[in-house]
Amino acid sequence: MLFWICKTPAKLTAGGAQNVVTFNDFIMDTNSTAYTCWDGRRAWIHPGLPSRCTYRRGIDPSKSPHHSQKRHPSTKILPNILYKIGDSPLVQVNKIGKSFDLQCEFCIGLALTAAVKGYGCIIVMSDRNSMEKVNTLKALGAEVVRTQANVSFDSPESIIRVAYRLHRQIPNSHIMDQGFSPDQVDMIVCGAGTGGTITGLSRKIIEKCPGCKVIGVIPYGSILAEPEETNESGIDYFEMEGLGYDFIPTVFDQQLITKWYKSTDKDSFQMARRLIREEGLLCGGSSGAAMDIAIKAAREYGMKKGQKVVVVMPDSIRDYMTKFISDEWMEAKGFIDLDNKDSEELLWWAKRKTRDLNMKELITFHQNVTIEDALNIMNNNGFDQVPVVDESGNLLGMVTVDHIMSEFTKGRVKVTEPVSNILFKHFQQATMDTRLGFLSRLLDVDNYVAIVHDHKQYKADGRELTKTMIINIVTRIDLVNFILRIKPEKK
């Protein structure tokens, strides 16, 4: 692949030809085989350009752009784990399908890959990914670079842009933009992230089983589905890892998908927990999403006894031990309701409300306050986190000492920039009427909880807006001080 690294838009041409067009507000050189883009600061390879892949259904294998090789015969002892690629097992799901009164056969495809070639590997992932995933990759010898989860794909600090920046800096490096042999498959259900897995599976499965339905799974908040209007959900954040994007990756062939289904975090994580408990499959959250949607799709399409539904499970439990596997994490995120009545009866303070706490006086930062000024104020007042608001007092996010330190030491921000450039937008929230018993479990998951109040505002044109106002911040020490200082009422 040819990468054009230029300093000015005028140089974004090949062979002197002025063949520069715009794509989604970016300048693009269509003569370049890499489709170089210019955003006003640096050249980079746009990850959502139209595909140049020459693959077509029914193409002569000798003319196919895809590499293929004969499968290795299965043996008891494999030379290395790479020999298992192309021979992923199918495992029958026995209990969950029956619990929904479905007679069709559900099979799980368990995918496994490993780095045994000895290549140097740098993994760029967002800070939404679990520490278990980070530590596992490090144990495999990979270097991990974290990016912000709440930025768009074309932001200089997004996963895509950081990966390409590293690619330019590292000689002889490559970016990985990211089958199974069926007898008869009537439906295949697969999640989509970059779209590489579902594209490759769909091409082969439709070739072998022309009548097979291909079901795509993405979370609400992703825009990979078609038709485009199905992506309008009003959701801009999801806890699910590995599924969905806010752009259409070049590698992704949307034309192969029979129908798209949107998954929710709650249903996905609850189904993943059922797969672990009832089927003994130590899977991850995106596997739960695929299985949950498989049940819904099988019902909608009326899958009958004798028909086979294959569900692709791409992840394992190892990366989520402190996330959806944890009852406390699930409750804090609102995905399950734990029965804590008995334990709360033993704690005199558990039924008291957040409003009973003696909280510190609230300070907030306007979005234009510099990071340097924010650090000085936080240091002088003894705060580790402070809410950031706009002119109307609407809560925009949080700025924390830990997040500033992380971004500053990596060279991603300068102290002269406004705090709006370093906002942390996803944190636990509660109200003044939240029980302290539940608040304590939120604080088991996070270091602080934002106490907020939502109110409706009506515009002159009749529009109704919901605004979130910050009331205060509660930390673990606030709860501990309350318990120690306030004596329980005698019965």
User: What architecture does CATH give domain 339-485?
Assistant: Roll (3.10)
Sign of the Cα pseudo-torsion (329, 314, 56, 251, in order):
positive
90-149 pLDDT tens trace: 888 889 999 999 988 888 765 434 344 556 778 888 877 777 777 767 766 678 888 877
Q: Is 263 helix (H, G, I), strand (E, B) or coil?
A: strand
Look over the chain and give the mean of its residue pLDDT values, rounded to a whole number. 79
Region 411-419 average pLDDT:
90
Fold of the domain built from segment(s) 79-337: Rossmann fold (3.40.50)
Please say if the pLDDT value at position 269 is more than 50.
yes
Domain locations along the chain = 9-45, 79-337, 339-485
Identify the pLDDT of residue 206: 85
Highest mean pLDDT among 23-27, 77-81, 232-236, 267-271: 267-271
Provide the percentage of residues in the chain whose pLDDT is more than 90: 26
22-79 pLDDT tens trace: 444 444 444 444 445 555 555 566 666 777 777 777 777 777 777 666 666 677 787 8
Identify the pLDDT of residue 10: 37
Q: Which residues contact 106 (CB under 8 A, 6 or more apart)?
A: 92, 93, 96, 97, 291, 294, 298, 309, 311
Asked if residue 10 lies in contact with residue 3, where contact means CB atoms within 8 angstroms, the answer is no
- pLDDT confidence bin for 216, thresholds 50/70/90: very high
